[in-house]
Every structure is written in structure tokens, then in C-alpha cells.
Structure 1
Amino acid sequence: MSPRPRDPALRANVLATAARLLAEEGPSALSTRRLARELGVSTAAVYTYFGSIEQLRREVRLDGFARLEAQLDALGSPLDPVAGLSAVVLAFFEFGMRRPHLYRAMFLDRPLEEDTAGEPTFTRLADLVRRGTDSGRFGAVPADQIELCAAQVWSAPHGMVTMVLSGALPADAARAVLEDMVVRLAVGYGDDRDQAAGSLTTAGAPGLP
């Protein structure tokens, strides 16, 4: 018997449905039978692409971070390092707003052991902080605290996305808080406030009073 032909659209639908189930009902809701029923296919069709539920959960996270990285890549690398960092933070937030089910599955489903899906994103943030220190804008950041600052930067958009998805804040209010946080972080790292606010405007935000 010839192998079952692969359908990229079905694979994408399996990932999207799995992300929704993980976000809405948690890992216990995810099974090949449930996915097959939701998609109107056989369980064998699901197994054609994913050998186990654990593999599927991992692939959902990998797919999500790949999509996030593609969105961040599209920003390019502006000469102004603080504008570059601001643009990434704002794009991170918008990603969560546009793909809430996938975002929940990426971040709120407990990662599996040896899951490194988010490492490229963290490395990107650390590199951006390092650019800020190299330029002299983040003069208050010692070399051995770059990763600590990258984690602080990550927590800003992630925290605001989580508050919106949990119903604690409307999206426009969360975005305004995030823009203020970006400037405050930059100033805390040694930047001039007016210069940091100007970089935020360059990144696509309306700026702060």
C-alpha cells in the first residue's frame, strides 16, 4: 500500500485546532480522537503528521514561535537600537492580540522537557539590549546583566498580552501601558527620556507626553 499523501493544509488545521483546544481547555482536552472529530478526519490522518500528542504540543509551540520570529524578522534592523527594541516589543504585543489561541498555547501550556522553542526570541532580545549598551544608550547595564534585562523586556509585552487575554485590561489600555513601560525600561538602563520617547515614536508608537 502506498503511503498516505500529505496535505499541508490539513497539517496547518491540526496545529490551529490543537492550539485552540490547548488555550480553551488545557492539555487534557487534546487527543487524536478529539482532533479527528473536530476536523472531520480519521485519527490515522492526524497520526500521519504527528506521532504523539506530546509531539503535537511541541509542534504547536515551535510553529507559534516560528510565526513570531518571522513577524519580528520583517521589522528589519534600524540604526537606532532603542527604536529596534521598541519595535520588537510592540510587534510581540500585536502578535498576541492577533493570534490569541496560538499565544495561549505557546506560553500558557506548560512547556515539555527540553523545549527550546522560545530561545531564538530570547536571544533576539538579548542582542537588542546588547546593541543598546554598545551604542552608549544603555550605559547603566553591565555586561553580565544583559540577559537579566532581556528577561525584563520580555516580561513587558507578555504581561500586557496576558492581562488582555484574561480580561483584566482592554487592548488599547494595555498598549498604552506597554509604550510607557518601554520608555521607563530604557531610562532605567541609562537612556535619556526624550531620546527614548523619540525612539518609541520611530518604532511606530505615537509617543508619550
Structure 2
Amino acid sequence: MTVTETAPQPRERILRAAADLLAEGGREAVSTRSVSAAAGVQAQTIYRQFGDMQGLLDEVAQRGFASYLADKHANLASGDPVEQLRRGWDLHVSFGLANPALYRLLYTDPRPGEGATVMGEANDILVRLVTRVAETGRLRMDVQAAAAMIHAAGIGVTVTLISARAAGRLAEHEGLAENTRDALLAALIADEEETGAEQSRAERGARHAVALKALLEEEGEQPFTPGEHLLLGELLTRLAGKAGLGGR
């Protein structure tokens, strides 16, 4: 085997250099000069391979996110949907703590559109999990609204823990992720033991409306015309919000 066959090609060297710099020093450490020096290439090679630094960062993000997305997809395979949501939350927080610089790049950078592809896939998985809960008749609000709450809370908790670790104060936040997760899911999801006598008629109706709406929005052949589908969706959304449980 020749040296040419074993040595990483320029594109791979650039990606590795950018990922290492990001992990060590955050986004500010990833510049054309630093990456070209670490990868042993000319600056124009970066632009020729990735278009610009944004293109390079997007590919670094996609590569770093790949194993996390694989774990998220594996979590979809089987099991109780509520437990899947719990595991999904834990995977999210663990990923952030293990990859703080990459997490900040994906979730807290103010530039719009960055990481949109991989972020969109992660959000789709979350929506699918929440939809499964809705189909059991246990979700207390609209799928999209519930997913948005979980997403926002997960980011807030993870960023808080990342900052606490950087400041050497992580021990002060012991149990934050688990307690927030459990409180949020308790607010969004009804226990299986809850009976009709313990809930108002409006609350029971809202949960059933959420379940039916989730089933209605599944892909596949529909028994309604487009107009009927739209009207029924609007009516179910209204019912889902009847008890103040939310709806979109």
C-alpha cells in the first residue's frame, strides 16, 4: 500500500482539523487561517472543497451529528412511546454534554439556516415520538405544540448544564435534566391510570381530539376530500384547545 493510499486526502484533513479546532476552542477558533494551518493546505483549498467556511462548518456539524441521529433512530424502533420520549430527552442532553462546542454551533448560533438539514431530521424524530403518544390518547395538547415545548426545554436545560460544567459548577445542577424532563412529560401526558371520573368532560374530549388529529395527519389514503380533511383538522384543533390544553 502506498503513502498516497493511506494518507488522508485534503478534504478529510480539513474536516478533521475543523472538528478538532471546534472542540478545543469553539466556533471562534475555526478560521480559514487556523484550519488551513492545521490541515496543511492552502486557504483556497478550503473554498474549493466547501465553497466557504459556512459550508465547511455545516459538513462538520452533519458529521458530528451522525452518531446522535443514529441513536435517535434506534430509539424509534420499539417500546412504549412515553419511555421513548424519556430516552430521547436523555440522548439529547448527553449529546450536548459530550459535544459542547458542536451543540452550541447547532442550537445556539444566531445565524439562521445553519445546520438546518440535520436539525430538521432530529425535530422530525421528536414529532414522530410525540405523535405516537398522541395516538394512545394520552397527549394533553396538539402534537406540534407539545414537541415545541419539549424541544425548547431540552435546549434550555442542556445549555444550562454546558455552562455550569464550564464554570465548574455542574454538581450544583444535579438532577436538573431528569427533574425537568419528568415535570414536563407529566404536564403533557396523562397517566394510563387516569380515569374519566378524574377528568372533566372537556379534558377527556381534548385528549381524544388530539389522538384523532394525530391519526388523521398520518400519511396514507384518506377517506376525506381535501376540503373535508382541512375542515375536520380545524375542528379537532379547536376541540383540543377547548380545555386550555393548547392547539395549533
Closer, same or farther: CA 99–194 of 1 in aligned 2, 3 Å: farther
Name the structure 1 match of 2:158.
161
Partners of 1:137 and 1:190 within 8 A in 2: yes
TM-score norm. by structure 2 comes to 0.62
Code of the residue aligned with 1:81 in structure 2: it is P
Give matches, 1:23-172, under 5 Å.
23=26, 25=28, 30-47=30-47, 49-113=49-113, 116-117=116-117, 118-138=119-139, 140-141=140-141, 145-167=142-164, 170-171=169-170
Partners of 2:18 and 2:35 within 8 A in 1: no
Distance in 1, Cα, partners of 2:10 & 2:193: 52
Q: CA deviation at 1:39?
A: 3.7
Distance in 2, Cα, partners of 1:88 & 1:169: 26
User: Percent identity between the aligned chains?
Assistant: 26
Q: Deviation digits for residues 143-163 of structure 1, max 9, x if unmatched?
A: xx2112111111233212211
SS at match of 2:67: helix
Name the structure 2 match of 1:184.
183
Closer, same or farther: CA 169–189 of 1 in aligned 2, 3 Å: farther
Partners of 2:85 and 2:130 within 8 A in 1: yes
User: In angstroms, what is the RMSD of aligned CA positions?
Assistant: 3.1
Q: CA deviation at 1:54?
A: 2.1
Name the structure 2 match of 1:14.
17
Distance in 1, Cα, partners of 2:172 & 2:137: 32
SS at match of 1:136: coil
Using the TM superposition, name which of 89-98 and 115-124 deviates more. Answer: 115-124
Code of the residue aligned with 2:9 in structure 1: it is R
Distance in 2, Cα, partners of 1:57 & 1:16: 9
Task: State the structure with more CA Rg.
Answer: 2
Distance in 2, Cα, partners of 1:136 & 1:12: 46
Partners of 1:15 and 1:59 within 8 A in 2: no
Distance in 2, Cα, partners of 1:66 & 1:194: 38
Distance in 1, Cα, partners of 2:68 & 2:110: 18
Closer, same or farther: CA 61–15 of 1 in aligned 2, 3 Å: same
Runs of 5+ unmatched residues, structure 2: 1-7, 195-248
Distance in 1, Cα, partners of 2:192 & 2:111: 37
Q: How many residues align?
A: 184
Partners of 1:18 and 1:30 within 8 A in 2: yes
